[in-house]
A and B are shown apart, each in its own frame.
Chain A
């Protein structure tokens, strides 16, 4: 139903389109501003009683300890899950994971599955893969439902329909719900409670009917083989408990060695994502519980580029990410372009590093444009609950992009950088060049630098450079 990001243009071009959408700009500024304020109140609250920074350090420490010995923790997880009656599958990439899920569904003869909101199944385009096998994958999270019904793409990790306002949602429900199941009532208004009620009755019959549920997991506790899903709406709880068969696709970086490690993470996540002290629903399950919930439980452990990211000395910290989306909400770039411009289910600052790390740089202009989709203002690093130094990773990835293109015919930018480096390596060359600053500015204003001067004036050229002044006046002493 919903599309994929395949074939999206590079960031500057995609952003150009998005920036022209006044409704999008207004929706995003309102939504990110609201979540930012809620998060800040809770951070202040923690700081009033204890220490948010200490909590961040603890959260980062837990994830880091899992990553340094990932193989061992994953083997433990496989052992404990299996002992709990779950079937563990290993998938190298999206195609393998999708084939595993499709074969389980096909084995049970179903033509539909219900889904818990999950980033990883979007990353691998599971819905499209299942559709190709004649299996409908119903999204049950309200915002995901809006995106799916609207044949749209998610634009935010936590609130994927953040680019839509309530009147747009009403229109989508009225025109699209009937084709997917129970139609929206004809007198549907754009009141949030009315819209939620329409989604509720639309989804309820799907929950009760579905034989197979599909989820991701926020955390996978290795010591006990426990999967954890946190959510707000209760749709996840429905999908995790009602179907006979449950398939969970879990990125290998989701492993947390112990229950103790969950403690800081479960405090950090809701505060950083929805701006709540605690999320309304936390579901935890250990494989199969006899006579209660799904009696066939599968866990697909997915790599899909994660071991590449793990091998990146600077970038591996991105695997700490707990998908809270705090970095999106504070990002001045994201606030203006929205998520679609990043061309991935992972938008915003984390997407700008995660996509290149998972997919590699140097072979796709869209991916290569992402590390540059940032002014390096650092707001993301400050907001990140697990202290991912996103600006440093962005700069490192930029160097990887440049290095990947060395050796060929140099671009104008590369030539300019080389020339600048030569001038800046020796003050004598710089002094010579600066005689032409005024001329340079005039030429730049007339012919080049259009990208600067389209909306901004250039400063007037000074009569002389600072170093010329210093020399002429002996530092102002004569």
Chain B
């Protein structure tokens, strides 16, 4: 990492509203690794809910807000493969739709600086052992957008394998989608639940106490099925595992 790099946390709308603990974990983790992460308070959302449902005009002001909020930072870190994927691969579509050349230019500057958490840790900071301690059995679901849109590969695994006390259990059919898919989860609720039920069954088959993933949207879906089934398996974001230490957080 370059010295004096200005790093922003893009917490994501879902984490902001529903999972503040995940955002706090990223802050804890990055500070422990020597990064003085900032939280630009004007940030809101990456606009993916609008883009992926087909509402491109509605996405324009949201993307404009995004590039304004993160202008001037050297890196934007987010605990979401899906939101990072939207920023890197879809903001240009929205900018083109707007017909606004200055927005397109701003997107071109900001998009490549957006990193999913495991990418930032492994590629930018160059660490795989983040000094975490998490004495639990864990199975890991590689979310689709981190796997196929960003190509994070085995970075999350490398990070988990270095966590002391953690036993990683292999998830069968791991690379198959959990069925969340944003508005797909309600527009095609039956199919979404059918996919999620199979994912939840595979999770239970591992016998793990904890299901980990790098996206709380997918975890809301799989975790929602697991708790409805009273399975006793907890869904925990990767960041919260990596932030944990012997003395508790921090």
Most B Cβ at <10 Å: residue of A381, A458, A459, A464:
A459
Q: Mark B199-229, 1 if CB is under 8 A from A, else 0.
A: 0000000000000000000001101110110
**Which A343-402 residues sit within 8 Å CB-CB of chain B?**
371-379, 381-382, 395-402
Contacts A332-B176, A455-B228, A459-B224 hold; do A15 and B188 have CB atoms under 8 A apart?
yes
Q: Is B182 an interface residue (CB 8 A)?
A: yes
Task: Report the bound CA distance from A129 to B23 in whole Å.
Answer: 62
Contact present for B191 and A424 (CB under 8 Å): no
Say whether A451 contacts B186, CB under 8 Å.
yes
Contact assessment for B41 and A470 in the assembled complex, using a CB-CB cutoff below 8 Å: yes
Interface-central residue, B44, B51, B185, by most chain A CB under 10 Å = B44
Query: Does A178 make an interface contact (CB < 8 A)?
Result: no
In A304-362, the 8 Å CB interface with B consists of 332-333, 336-337
Within 8 A of B (CB), among A439-478: 441, 449, 451-452, 454-459, 461-462, 464-471, 475-476
Question: Are B185 and A452 in touch, CB under 8 angstroms?
Answer: yes
Min CB gap A85→B, angstroms: 49
User: Shortest distance in angstroms between B116's beta carbon and chain A's nearest beta carbon?
Assistant: 15
State whether A395 and B186 are in contact (beta carbons under 8 Å apart), knowing that A424-B65, A465-B17 are contacts in the complex.
no
Alpha-carbon distance A16/B149, docked complex (angstroms):
29
In the complex formed, the residue of B with least CB distance to A458 is: B224
Residue of A nearest to B195 (CB): A332
Q: Are B184 and A372 in contact (CB under 8 A)?
A: yes
Given the interface pairs A455-B228, A467-B41, the reply to whether A399 lies near B54 with Cβ below 8 Å is: yes
- Tell me the count of chain B residues lying within 8 A, CB to CB, of chain A: 75
Number of A interface residues, CB 8 Å?
65
A residues near B64, Cβ cutoff 8 Å: 425
Residues B52 and A376 in contact, CB atoms below 8 Å apart: yes
A-B pair number, CB within 8 angstroms: 209
Overall SS of chain B's interface: helix
Is the C-beta of A417 less than 8 angstroms from some C-beta in chain B? yes
Interface check A434, CB cutoff 8 A = yes
B148 on interface, CB distance cutoff 8 Å: yes
Is A208 an interface position by the 8 A CB rule? no
- The CA of A70 and the CA of B59, in the complex, are separated in Å by 35
The residues of A that contact B18 with a CB separation of less than 8 Å are 437, 441, 459, 461-462
**Assembled-state Cα–Cα distance A180/B221 (Å):** 50
A284 interfacial by beta-carbon distance below 8 Å:
no
Q: Which residue of A lies closest to B17 (CB)?
A: A437
Given contacts A426-B65, A457-B228, contact A467 B16 (CB under 8 A): yes
Determine the chain A residues whose CB is within 8 A of the CB of B182 once the complex forms.
Answer: 375-376
State whether the Cβ of B127 lies closer than 8 Å to any Cβ in chain A. no
One of A11, A425, A456, A466 near B224 (C-beta < 8 A) = A456
- A402 smallest CB distance to B (angstroms): 4
Whether the Cβ atoms of B62 and A424 lie closer than 8 Å is yes
- In the complex the two chains form, is A421's CB within 8 Å of B41's CB? no
Q: A395 and B188: CB pair below 8 A?
A: no
Choose one: B45, B179, B197; the contact of A424 (CB below 8 Å): B45
Residue numbers in B under 8 Å from A468 (CB-CB):
20
**A197 adjacent to chain B (CB < 8 Å):** no
Chain A hits for B38, CB < 8 A: 475
Residues of A within 8 A of B191 (CB): 12, 15, 19, 333, 336-337, 373
Most buried by B among A373, A382, A399, A458: A399
6 contacts between A and B (CB under 8 A): A376-B52, A376-B181, A421-B62, A434-B17, A466-B11, A476-B24
A464-B20, A466-B15, A466-B19 given; name 17 further pairs at CB < 8 Å. Answer: A11-B188, A336-B194, A337-B191, A372-B188, A378-B147, A381-B148, A398-B54, A417-B58, A421-B50, A451-B189, A454-B193, A456-B221, A456-B224, A457-B228, A466-B20, A469-B20, A475-B39
